[in-house]
Structure 1
C-alpha cells in the first residue's frame, strides 16, 4: 500500500484504471489537466514525451494509458514531486514514467535539446500578484501564479525540448491567446490546433487548448467547442466520455 502523508487521499483517475495521490491543502488536479491529456497528440507505439509543470503527475499518468512511449514529468515543488513519484509507484509505472524534481527553465540543458517528440504543459495562469494578494498556501500560489515560471519560460523551454516537427500542447486561459500565439511563433512553434472550452452553452469560453508544431507551416484549425455542463448542470455527453469513459 502506498504511504499517505497528512491530509492526502488516494483517488481514482476517473475513466482510467489508475489511482492518484491528492491533497486538498497541497494539490488536486483540475479539469484543465484532464482536457489537456485528452487533447494532446501522443504517438501510440513509441516516442519520448515530456510534461512540464506536472504537479502530482496527473498528466503523465493519463498519457500513460494512450502511449507505449517513455514519459518524463517535471515538477519544481518537492512536495508535489514526491506525491507524483508515489502515485507512479503505486500504479507500477516506474518503467514508463520518470519524474524530475527541477525547474523547467533548466530542463533543456539537463535532459537535452530537441530530444522529445511531444511536450505538454499546464503552466501557472496568472501574473504574479502583490505580496498581499498571493495565496498564503505556497503550493497553491506556485501552481496558479507566475512566481517560479512565466508563460514565456514555459513556451521557450517547450520549444527547446521538442524535436523539429514535434508537437507541443498547452492549456491556458482564453485571455492569453494572443500572448500565447505571439510567444509560440517567437520560439518557432507554429499553432496548428486550437479548441475553446465553455462552462455552458451561451457562456464565454474559460479554457483554451492549443497545439503547435516546431517549425511547422502556418495553417491553424479551430476545433469544435467543448461544452462542460448542460442546462441541468450535469456534464455533457462528450465530457462524461472524457472523464468516465461513458457514452
Structure 2
C-alpha cells in the first residue's frame, strides 16, 4: 500500500512519520529513508509508489521460524523483506521478492545490496501471475503480501503508473496473488496478508479456493474509539491447515485522532535491543 492510500484509510500524522523515518536526499529523483536509528536504509523514488506504515505493521505480524524461506509477492522497494531481515537476521535461511515494475525492481535490488543482505535475499523480476517461471512449487515456508486492494477503474485513480498499480489491481486481482502464494508455499506453510477490513469476507472466500485456512486475524484501527471501526486487517492463513481462528487484540496505530503512535507501534520502529521500557 502506498503512503497516499494509507493516509486515506487510517490517517496520517506527519510529525510521527518524520520522527521515525529519517529522509536524506540522494539525488533529484530519489530519497534515502533510514529506519531503526539508521541501521536500515531504504531508497524510494520521490514520485510514484512510496511505502507506508502498513508495511511495518505487516512485517511485525509475520511469524518467522529458524531456517524459514520467505517470499514477498509484489515487493515494491523491498521494505518488508528488509525489516524481516533486520529483525530476524540469520534466523531466516533465505528470502526473495517478486516485482513486475522495472523501476521498483531495480530499487529493491539496490536496497538489498545497500543493506548487505545479498547472501540471504534475491529480488526476482517478473509477473507473479507467471510464478511457475520464477520459482519451484512449494519452495517457500511463508509468503508475505501487501496487495493492491481495489479493482481497476474504481475510486480515485492516480495518474502515476506506480501509484496506481500499488492501489488498484492493475497487475493482478486478489485471486492472482493467492494463486501465486498457493503455488510457491509448501504444504502447511503460512501466508501473511494485510487487507481492508470491510473486504475480509471476500478475502476469506478467495483464500478457501486455494486451500488456505485462516488461522489468525488482527484488526487495525486508526485510534481507540474511532467511529470508523477497523480499517485494515492482518491475516495469517495456513495451506491445508486445520480449523480454528485466533482473533488477536486490536491494533491501534495512534493514541487518539491526530495523536502520536501508540506504544506498540512506536516500538516497531525501535532499534534492536532498545525497546521502550
TM-score category by the smaller chain? Answer: over 0.9
5 Å-filtered alignment, 1:5-154, equals 6-14=28-36, 17-43=39-65, 45-65=66-86, 66=88, 67-129=91-153, 133-154=156-177
Query: CA-to-partner distance for each residue in 1:5-32, whole Å, 9 max, x for gaps?
Result: 5421111124672100012312221111
Give me the whole-angstrom Cα distance separating, in 2, the residues matched to 1:14 and 1:127: 35
Alignment partners' CA distance in 2, 1:196 and 1:108: 33
Kindly indicate whether the alpha-carbon contact (under 8 Å) linking 1:19 and 1:91 is maintained by their aligned counterparts in 2: yes
Specify whether residues 108 and 133 from structure 1 end up closer, same or farther in structure 2 by C-alpha distance, changes over 3 A only.
Answer: same
Any conservation in 1 of the 2:64–2:92 contact (CA below 8 Å)?
no
Counterpart residue number, 2:251: 226
**In 2, Cα distance between equivalents of 1:23 and 1:14:** 20
Confirm whether residue 243 of structure 1 aligns to residue 269 of structure 2.
Answer: yes
Whole-angstrom CA distance in 1 between matches of 2:183 and 2:26:
36
Give the length in aligned residue pairs.
243
Cα deviation, residue 244, structure 1: 2.6
* Cα separation, 2, equivalents of 1:10 and 1:103: 27
Structure 2: runs of 5 or more not aligned = 1-24
SS at match of 1:200: coil
Asked if the contact 1:32–1:207 (Cα under 8 Å) also holds between the matched residues in 2, the reply is: no
Give the Cα separation in 1 of the matches to 2:150 and 2:61. 22
RMSD: 1.8
Please tell me whether the aligned partners of residues 48 and 118 of structure 1 are also in contact (alpha carbons under 8 angstroms): yes
Per-residue Cα deviation, 1:168-204 (whole angstroms, up to 9, x for no partner): 0101111110011011111001000000010011121
Q: Is the 8 A contact 2:145 2:194 kept in 1?
A: yes
Contact 2:126/2:134 (8 A) holds in 1: no
Contact 1:26 1:80 in 2 (8 A): no
Equivalence for 1:174: 197
Classify the secondary structure of the residue corresponding to 2:148: coil
| Change over 3 Å in CA distance of 1:125–1:237 after alignment to 2 | same
Q: Is the 8 A contact 1:192 1:213 kept in 2?
A: yes
1:135 Cα shift? Answer: 1.3
Distance 1:86 1:36, change over 3 A: same
Matches of 1:22 and 1:47, distance apart in 2: 27
CA deviations on 1:110-165 (whole Å, 9 max, x unpaired) are 311111100001110111116x9531100100111001111111111111111001
Deviations 1:41-71 (A, max 9, x none): 122x312110001000001111112133201
